[in-house]
């Protein structure tokens, strides 16, 4: 969703055990140590998704809708 509304320049900050809520610009300043490789980001994202079953119901519902949207969006 942020890709469409932000023109691809907005991303969500993910934290373990929590739903994505905070958005930042991909062009914001960041310490090099706080930015991982693409492979590390993918690995973290997969573990973040797997951990989502332990979130409160509202966060799980929000995440399920986001995953569905992402899958549908990437079919084309």
Encode pLDDT of 8-56 as tens digits: 788 888 888 777 778 888 888 888 888 888 899 889 888 888 876 666 6
Q: How far apart are CA 27 and CA 71, in angstroms?
A: 26
pTM above 0.85, yes or no: no
Q: How far apart are CA 16 and CA 47, in angstroms?
A: 8
Query: E strands, the chain, where?
Result: 10-12, 23-25
What does the radius of gyration of the chain's CA atoms come to, in whole angstroms? 13
- Which two structure tokens, joined as six digits, stand for 52? 């989502």
Going by pLDDT thresholds of 50, 70 and 90, the confidence category of residue 57 is low
């Amino acid at each position: 969703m942020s890709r469409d509304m932000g023109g691809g320049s907005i991303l969500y900050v993910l934290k373990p055990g929590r739903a994505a809520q905070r958005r930042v610009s991909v062009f914001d300043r960041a310490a090099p140590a706080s930015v991982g490789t693409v492979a590390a980001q993918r690995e973290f994202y997969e573990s973040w998704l797997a951990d989502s079953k332990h979130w409160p119901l509202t966060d799980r519902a929000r995440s399920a809708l986001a995953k569905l949207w992402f899958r549908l969006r990437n079919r084309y």
